[in-house]
Amino acid sequence: MYFKQFFDDKLAQYAYMVGCQAEGTAIVIDPMRDIDQYIEAAAKENLTIVGAADTHIHADYISGLREFAERGVKVYASDEGDKDWKYEWLIGSDYNYQLLNDGDEFSIGNITFKAWHTPGHTPEHLSYFITDGAAADQPIGIATGDFIFVGDVGRPDLLESAAGQKNVMVPSARTLFKSVEDFKNVPEFMQIWPGHGAGSACGKALGAIPETTVGYELRYNASIKSATSEDDFVKFILEGQPEPPLYFARMKRDNKIGPKVIRGLPQPKHLTLNELGKLADNKEVAVLDTRERDEFSQGYLPGSLLSPLNKQYNTVAGSYITEDEEIYLIVEEHQLTEAVRDLYRIGLDNVIGYVTPVDLDHYAEHGGELETLAVEKFDAIDKYIGDDNYQILDVRKASEFEEEGNIEGAQNIAHTRLLPRMEEVPSERKIVVHCQAGGRSAVAAALLQRNDYEVVLIDDEWANYKAKAAASA
């Protein structure tokens, strides 16, 4: 049996290629939308991808299932859950597909896959027992998707906190408890191949280790260990979950009704300086600046959004850009494909053009106007506290705001929730925005200035404020 794990560090997402080397065939489980990466990897191993399977209707990225189906590859998807949790784009289509229920099996060469209904994270969720028939008559492991992670389980609140469904959080947690109870009966030797790792918003305490075993998780997974009773589990699993990005609702919708098929990455045009100038303060488009925050604050095209090309890039872009907006990038030439690919993975396809940071410098040298962002440290915060001309805005998660302490009179809106809650931020005041270390507050500051707020960015470590406050106490 051939086995390969793929990892995207920005979305903290794992996909898996499982192949039968005797037959030269393979399947990909939980593929991302840019399926070229799997096709190329298979070709290097002299394998042909003949199947693709999802564990569930994903909320954090666009699945590659439809892209595979478009190429004639047989796809496998859940038929569990009620009518609201069906792969609508598959049912009745001309694609080569098989819908699976609990206990259903299929094979790729000598490899057998058995569907196991593991609801709770979502109602239709499947995990897959994988058996290498050439070597054993029992499964070697389970592709658990968003059911069991290293150190955690898939959060059951996303349907309510991200997708907007009402009064489903607690019932989903109780359903997840029953799935966890079933998991306790699985042989401990089996390997666990999770759908996400550390950094994913699909849980609150995911580990960075890429795989685990049933036995290890039964002993050390805090969420599983909390399941001493159903009520204890529900309380533990719903407590302290971070605010998920609201674009998750769009991902869930698109994966359900069918993602657009555009056959490859967008190919943005390299803009002239004249074309760049027409984008200044144009609120009808999204100019996304991928430079670091210190460069951005010293001079940026008016109206730009900021999202450095780091692990938060997808989350920020997905939270601040709508699916219908035209997107223009400020990005280094050698990072262009990466930046476009990351947007494509979350369904932001309208990437029309780009310029490089050097182009932006030339634009300024030829008289193009740039804006700056006022930046201070926590040393300066005292002058804003209690001043009615200013509003301190804390864009950390609610759990951080409550557990790590906060500034007197500060307003708390997580940076991923700022766009739809913009009207809550007082426009008659100057906004002093901070977070834990400056990264989230910087992207929030750019969004605020794009929406005509006057902003002061506190680019500093929260630990420095706590030390300052302790010293003056």
Q: What is the pLDDT of residues 280-295, one digit of tens each?
A: 999 999 999 999 999 9
Domain count for the chain: 3
- How do residues 350-366 score in pLDDT, each as one tens digit? 999 999 999 999 999 99
Averaged pLDDT, 47-51: 98
Q: Considering the domain boundaries, does residue 263 fall inside one? A: no
CA-to-CA distance for 144 and 195, rounded, in angstroms? 7
Residues 80 and 113 in one domain: yes
Confidence of residue 245 (pLDDT cuts 50, 70, 90): confident
Asked if residue 61 is part of any domain, the answer here is: yes
**Residue 425: pLDDT above 80?**
yes
- Flag whether 62 is in a domain: yes
Show which of 365, 387, 420 is a domain's final residue. Answer: 365
CA dist., res. 224 & res. 217, Å (int): 7
My answer on whether 240 and 387 are in the same domain is no
Does the residue 262 lie in any domain? no
Tell me the CB-side half-sphere exposure of residue 33, using CA atoms within 13 A: 27
Last residue of a domain, one of 210, 226, 257: 257
Residue 473 has pLDDT above 80, yes or no: no
Cβ proximity of 142 and 194 under 8 Å: no
Least confident among 196-200, 242-246, 395-399: 242-246
CATH value at residue 105:
3.60.15.10
Could you tell me the CATH number of the domain that includes residue 321?
3.40.250.10
CA 428 to chain centre: 34
**Domain end position, chosen among 215, 235, 257:** 257
Furthest-apart CA pair in the chain: how many Å?
A: 73
Cβ distance 113 to 129 under 8 Å?
A: yes
139/19 same-domain check: yes
pLDDT for 168 equals 87
Q: What is the mean pLDDT of residues 170-183?
A: 97
Across the chain, what does the average pLDDT equal? 95
Locate tokens 């009207």: which residue? 423
| 111 and 217 assigned to the same domain | yes
Q: Is residue 224 part of a domain?
A: yes
CB count within 10 Å of CB 197 equals 24
Distance CA 151, CA 361 (A): 47
In the three-class reduction of DSSP (H, G, I as helix; E, B as strand; rest coil), residue 155 is classed as coil
Listed range (24-28, 156-160, 169-173, 403-407) with the worst mean pLDDT? 156-160
**What is residue 42's predicted lDDT score, i.e. its pLDDT?**
98
Among 92-96, 105-109, 201-205, 214-218, whose mean pLDDT is lowest? 201-205
- Whether residue 322 is found in the same domain as residue 361: yes
Give the domain extent around 359.
269-365
- What pLDDT, on a 0 to 100 scale, did the predictor assign at position 365? 96
Q: Where does the pLDDT of residue 190 fall: very low under 50, low under 70, confident under 90, or very high at 90 and above? A: very high
Q: How far is CA 23 from CA 2, 322, 333, in A?
A: 11, 44, 41
pLDDT at 184: 97
Strands 191-194 and 212-213, how do they pair? antiparallel
**Helices 169-183 and 230-238 meet at what angle, rounded to 10?**
120
One domain for residues 388 and 346: no
Q: What is the pLDDT of residue 262?
A: 84
Q: How does residue 342 score in pLDDT terms, banded at 50, 70 and 90?
A: very high
The reply to whether 48 and 192 lie within a common domain is yes
Q: Rounded CA gap, 473 and 464, in Å?
A: 14
335: nearest Cα among 404, 390, 268: 268
- Note the pLDDT of residue 381: 93
CB 125 within 8 A of CB 147: yes
The per-residue pLDDT for 263 is: 79
To the question of pTM greater than 0.85 for the whole model, the response is: yes
Decide if 21 contacts 10 (C-beta within 8 A): no
Q: Which residues of 58-92 are buried (b: 16+ CB within 10 A; e: fewer)?
A: bbbbbbbbbbbbeeebbbbbbbbbeeebbbebbee
Euclidean distance between CA atoms 185 and 156, whole angstroms = 21
Q: What is the pLDDT of residue 112?
A: 98
Q: Is residue 264 part of a domain?
A: no
> Is 316 within the bounds of a domain?
yes
Q: pLDDT digits over 198-242, tens only?
A: 888 888 888 889 999 999 999 999 999 999 999 999 999 999 888
Residue 378 sits in the same domain as residue 333: no
pLDDT at 412 over 80: yes
pLDDT at 420 over 80: yes
Instruction: Report the SS3 class of residue 26.
Output: strand
Does residue 402 share a domain with residue 350? no
Q: Are residues 108 and 184 in the same domain?
A: yes
Percent of the residues in the chain that have a pLDDT greater than 70, as a whole number: 99
Mean pLDDT of 318-347: 97
**Residues 273 and 233 placed together within one structural domain of the fold:** no
Is pLDDT above 90 for 397?
yes
pLDDT of residue 161: 75
| Residue linked to tokens 């300052």 | 468
CA distance 307 to 301: 14
Question: Is the domain of 245 the same as that of 170?
Answer: yes
Which range has the worst mean pLDDT, 110-114, 203-207, 317-321?
203-207
- Mean pLDDT over residues 55-61, rounded? 95
